[in-house]
Amino acid sequence: MCGIVGYIGPRDATPIILQGLKRLEYRGYDSAGVAVLQNGHIEVRRDAGKLSRLTKLVEEKPLSGHIGIGHTRWATHGEPNARNAHPHIGMTGEVVVVHNGIVENFLELREELAAEGAEFHSDTDTETIVHLVERLMGAQQGLEQAAMQTFHRLKGHQSVVLLSSREPDKIVAARLGNAGGVVIGFGEDEMFVASDLPAILEHTREVVFLENGEMAIVTREGVRLQTLDGAPIERAPQTVPWDPVAAEKGEYRHFMQKEIHEQVRSLTDTIAGRVDFEAGRVYLPQLNLTPELARRIKRIVITACGTAYHAGLVGKYLIEHIARLPVEVDVASELRYRDPIIDEDTVLLAISQSGETADTLAAMAEGRTRGATLWAVVNVIGSQAMRVADGYISMQTGPEIGVASTKAYTAPLVDLYMLAILLADLRGILDEQERRRLVAALRLVPDLAGQALEREPEVEAAARSLLETKHCLYLGRGINMPTAYEGALKLKEISYIHAEGYPAGEMKHGPIALIDRDMPVVVIATQDRWYEKMLSQIEQVKSRGGPVVAVATEGDEMIASLADHVLWVPETPWMLSPVVNVIPLQMLAYHIAALLGLDVDQPRNLAKSVTVE
Ligand code: AGP
């Protein structure tokens, strides 16, 4: 999770920026840097590693001035090292930029710029931004115009903040999509820019948030907001609460809603530094997976609880389909009581956001006793599950505060997809073309998730229609059967409405007896190999008077004619569809619970990490 801090005003920018970055460092990063306009020139200090190294660098080579920007980076393109750390400065030394997210079309931009003589000094996608702005300013465009035209060229979800020594009285910022926010803070004759409120809360509580597709021109006197086409935007500053917890929610009412919307960023970050899109390869170094081990493994037993268990069910489909390895998935609280068949040719793969769930840790201990290799997919760095495992994959979503897990469900789905590719590759059963195809699909995921998130208003409307319901059935098939389970868990744990996820094919073996007008059915019916069967499922429910809420592929007129509410999602490669299809179900549960006025972030009887058996 990258962090951005900017300052313009009468004080020295350097300590303000460094302190702001420090307030964001819990989000996780692997390098940091700061740029300040000093005596008319842009000075940059940046390094891999923690902020303490950057602070030392600044002590050794001080820089000071009244305008500057800083950044903590989680590598997406290019190794986490000094040359790839932000801020990035161009060839003229007159423009400097920091950036969150991914420039999806950076390769074509890089080729275009290099053909015109641009010299690149990093492996990052970010550097294309500064060269684009420089090229336009070279053509006598002002900073605002050059930035605006540059923003129009960038594909994907990002936040961009930049400044130029040629126009030393302003900072330009933009929010392009959902790769995290941009907040502008109002001070006394000074202004602040940040990716997250905690970075500037000690200086001001008067802020405005940028929306998707907006840019800000920040001077000491204030800020001018406009669309990317230059149309002015009027937005009064809002006063945020002092309470850092409340401030951390930023523009959202609850952490759960914020974390649902953070999924473009968390999916970007869980892919970050692990995929070489040019080579079509995946790297999971912390797993310690050798070709020998990959070939020796006879089966994988995935074990987890709750939402993590549902992620494991999707993992079974992915690993068996791609790597042709037998996988079984077991609820952690059951595994150790069934005398499981686990030996030294078994991998026991635990999935746990907290890495501290007692049942999951106990299952890992059972696996260890029986000689298995232990792997863990975890979110909390340094957690017990991570420490006892022989190898791990970190979800890299940043802290998940809401008890109902959202971004820590979608990130492991992508991690398991990458694991399946790596296993297949090392076991020699994946030809290069298929490997490249599977890897290329990863690049789409953050944007597809962003498209699903943009449908929130329609999901909220569907939520309003379900406020009176007492029961709800969720049906899914194939790789989206676990999506039905997860959607039902989301609803029941935060709205206290009874909800049950079921394999759609099982309806005729019992649950169909439940269907009447008081039993709404949520159906995952996106266009995949199971689509036709899901259509008939919907017709069976409708013919018995059951209301239907369908998750469907955008433009599907057939579903639109059948369902009472449609939760649209973009067309998605089927193996990654559980990542996107669950998002409307997360939002559906959230809005029902929020509209019922319930404690969404801390539902009754639940804990974020169940450390007791
Ligand atoms: C999911 O929304 C719940 N909070 C719960 O089921 C959770 O997934 C489960 O307790 C496992 O937690 P873990 O991922 O931290 O091990």
**Both tokens assigned to 299:** 């089966």
**If pLDDT is split at 50, 70 and 90, which confidence band does 144 have?**
very high
| Residue 503 φ/ψ, nearest 5 degrees | -65, 125
Gap between the Cα atoms of 82 and 93, Å rounded: 17
Task: Using the predicted structure, report yes or no on whether residue 577 has a pLDDT greater than 90.
Answer: yes
Query: Which of 407, 610, 611 has most ligand 1 atoms within 8 Å of CB, for mutation?
Result: 610
Residue 246's pLDDT is 66
Average of pLDDT values for 600-609? Answer: 83
User: What residue ranges of the chain are covered by domains with CATH 3.60.20.10?
Assistant: 3-241
Gap between the Cα atoms of 448 and 452, Å rounded: 6
Residue 381's pLDDT is 76
Residue 559's pLDDT is 96
Any ligand 1 atom below 6 A from CB of 333: no
CATH of 3-241, one of 3.60.20.10, 2.40.180.10, 2.30.36.70, 3.40.50.720: 3.60.20.10
Any ligand 1 atom below 6 A from CB of 378: no
Any ligand 1 atom below 6 A from CB of 397: no
Ligand 1 atom at minimal distance to the Cα of residue 408: 14
Gap between the Cα atoms of 358 and 77, Å rounded: 36
Say how many Å lie between the CA of residue 270 and the centre of ligand 1. Answer: 19
Gap between the Cα atoms of 242 and 82, Å rounded: 35
Any ligand 1 atom below 6 A from CB of 306: yes
Gap between the Cα atoms of 441 and 464, Å rounded: 35
Say how many Å lie between the CA of residue 16 and the centre of ligand 1. Answer: 38
Gap between the Cα atoms of 335 and 359, Å rounded: 9
Task: List, for residues 47-94, the tens digit of each pLDDT value.
Answer: 988 899 999 999 999 999 999 999 998 766 666 778 888 999 989 999
Say how many Å lie between the CA of residue 405 and the centre of ligand 1. Answer: 6
Q: Which of 94, 174, 84 is nearest to 135 (CA)?
A: 94
Residue 127's pLDDT is 94
Query: Which of 255, 353, 413, 613 has most ligand 1 atoms within 8 Å of CB, for mutation?
Result: 353
Fold of 260-443: Rossmann fold (3.40.50)
Query: Which of 303, 307, 331, 582 has most ligand 1 atoms within 8 Å of CB, for mutation?
Result: 307
Task: Using the predicted structure, report yes or no on whether residue 204 has a pLDDT greater than 90.
Answer: yes
Any ligand 1 atom below 6 A from CB of 100: no
Any ligand 1 atom below 6 A from CB of 395: no
Say how many Å lie between the CA of residue 129 and the centre of ligand 1. Answer: 39
Atom 4 of ligand 1, nearest CA residue:
404
Residues 6+ apart with CB under 8 A from 150: 129, 132, 133, 136
Query: Which of 255, 260, 357, 416 has most ligand 1 atoms within 8 Å of CB, for mutation?
Result: 357
Any ligand 1 atom below 6 A from CB of 353: yes
Any ligand 1 atom below 6 A from CB of 379: no
Average of pLDDT values for 506-526? Answer: 95
Could you confirm whether domain 455-595 is CATH 3.40.50.10490?
yes
Residue 242's pLDDT is 66
Any ligand 1 atom below 6 A from CB of 363: no
CA distances from 198 to 239, 256, 304, 403 (A): 14, 18, 33, 21
Atom 7 of ligand 1, nearest CA residue:
306
Q: Which of 497, 499, 500, 501 is nearest to 468 (CA)?
A: 497
Q: Which of 237, 145, 226, 160 is nearest to 191 (CA)?
A: 237
Any ligand 1 atom below 6 A from CB of 159: no
Task: Using the predicted structure, report yes or no on whether residue 101 has a pLDDT greater than 60.
Answer: yes
19-33 CB burial, b ≥16 within 10 A, e <16: bbbbbbeebbbbbbb
Ligand 1 atom at minimal distance to the Cα of residue 610: 10
Average of pLDDT values for 403-413? Answer: 97
Say how many Å lie between the CA of residue 75 and the centre of ligand 1. Answer: 27
pTM: 0.77
Any ligand 1 atom below 6 A from CB of 260: no
User: What residue ranges of the chain are covered by domains with CATH 3.40.50.10490?
Assistant: 260-443, 455-595
Task: Using the predicted structure, report yes or no on whether residue 253 has a pLDDT greater than 60.
Answer: yes
Mean pLDDT of the chain: 93
Average of pLDDT values for 292-301? Answer: 96
Residue 55's pLDDT is 95
* 105-109, 260-264, 595-599: range with lowest mean pLDDT: 105-109
Any ligand 1 atom below 6 A from CB of 487: no
Ligand 1 atom at minimal distance to the Cα of residue 304: 16
Unique residue bearing structure tokens 């019916």: 525
Say how many Å lie between the CA of residue 300 and the centre of ligand 1. Answer: 21
Task: List, for residues 328-377, the tens digit of each pLDDT value.
Answer: 999 999 999 999 999 999 999 999 999 989 899 999 999 999 999 999 99
**Which residues are known catalytic residues?**
2, 608
Task: List, for residues 440-468, the tens digit of each pLDDT value.
Answer: 999 999 999 999 999 999 999 999 999 99
Task: List, for residues 466-504, the tens digit of each pLDDT value.
Answer: 999 999 999 999 999 999 999 999 999 999 999 999 999
Residue 249's pLDDT is 79
Residues 6+ apart with CB under 8 A from 245: none
Are the C-beta atoms of residues 584 and 552 closer than 8 Å to each other?
no
Atom 9 of ligand 1, nearest CA residue:
306
Task: Using the predicted structure, report yes or no on whether residue 402 has a pLDDT greater than 70.
Answer: yes
| Residue 96 φ/ψ, nearest 5 degrees | -140, 145
Gap between the Cα atoms of 136 and 132, Å rounded: 6
Residue 28's pLDDT is 62
Using left for φ > 0, alpha for ψ between -120 and 50, and beta otherwise, residue 393 falls in beta
Average of pLDDT values for 164-179? Answer: 92
Name the CA dihedral angle for 523, 527, 530, 534, rounded to a multiple of 10 degrees. 30
Any ligand 1 atom below 6 A from CB of 383: no
Task: Using the predicted structure, report yes or no on whether residue 1 has a pLDDT greater than 60.
Answer: no
Any ligand 1 atom below 6 A from CB of 150: no
Atom 16 of ligand 1, nearest CA residue:
352
Gap between the Cα atoms of 86 and 96, Å rounded: 9
Say how many Å lie between the CA of residue 358 and the centre of ligand 1. Answer: 11
Task: Using the predicted structure, report yes or no on whether residue 250 has a pLDDT greater than 80.
Answer: no
Ligand 1 atom at minimal distance to the Cα of residue 405: 2
If one counts every other C-beta atom within 10 angstroms of the C-beta of residue 588, the result is: 26
CA distances from 377 to 99, 197, 390, 414, 416 (A): 28, 29, 11, 11, 9
Ligand 1 atom at minimal distance to the Cα of residue 307: 8
**If pLDDT is split at 50, 70 and 90, which confidence band does 27 have?**
low
Task: Using the predicted structure, report yes or no on whether residue 280 has a pLDDT greater than 70.
Answer: yes
Question: In whole angstroms, what separates CA 523 from the centre of its chain?
Answer: 25
Any ligand 1 atom below 6 A from CB of 307: yes
Task: Using the predicted structure, report yes or no on whether residue 289 has a pLDDT greater than 80.
Answer: yes
Query: Which of 255, 259, 302, 305 has most ligand 1 atoms within 8 Å of CB, for mutation?
Result: 305
**Both tokens assigned to 572:** 């998605």
Question: Could you give the 3-state DSSP secondary structure of residue 26?
Answer: helix
